[in-house]
Amino acid sequence: MREMVVHFSKKLLALEDTPERIARAFALGVFLAFSPLIGLHILLGIGLAFLCGLNRFALLLGTFINNPLTLIPIYVAGTYLGGLLIGFPPGPALSSAELQSFFSGHFWGQIAGHWHVLKPLVLGSFVLSVLTSALSYFAALTVIRQRRAHHAKP
């Protein structure tokens, strides 16, 4: 996993675009990664990259922050944050049997009927999207500028 992060970081730093445009595209990808639009991150990323004329690789790299290893922690954090902001739903919303069928259509039909669970997820994920994308913009911009300044020195 670490090798993959290093590899993609090097690719991001080597992109031929301005640091601001790379950081903007990466931050938009991070915004999408933390959004509650499960399964649409990459499709929306590609569409927005073309629509806004942003660097596709940087934007998609940002969306890949949400992957099978980070999916559950991201949505748990979003739901918890949303619960802190508007309150937690009373008791368990779904049975353990329903939760075990996470990847089935039946699960998503059941969860849609539990809007009281979705409200904290949607709100918390949106807040996390805004915060993490802002932080990732400034972090990426700083790293790219420092890296380029370091390589520009004779």
What percent of the chain is predicted at pLDDT more than 70? 79
Backbone angles phi, psi at 55, to 5 degrees: -65, 115
Q: What is the mean pLDDT of the segment spanning 63-92?
A: 82
**CA 137 to CA 26: how far, in whole Å?**
7
- Do the beta carbons of residue 85 and residue 127 sit within 8 Å? yes
> Number of structural domains, the chain?
1
Residue 92 has what pLDDT?
54
- State the pTM of this model: 0.78
Q: Can you tell me whether residue 83 is helix, strand or coil?
A: helix
**CA 154 to CA 144: how far, in whole Å?**
18
Mean of per-residue pLDDT scores for the chain: 82
Residue 4 has what pLDDT?
65
For 136, the domain range is 2-152
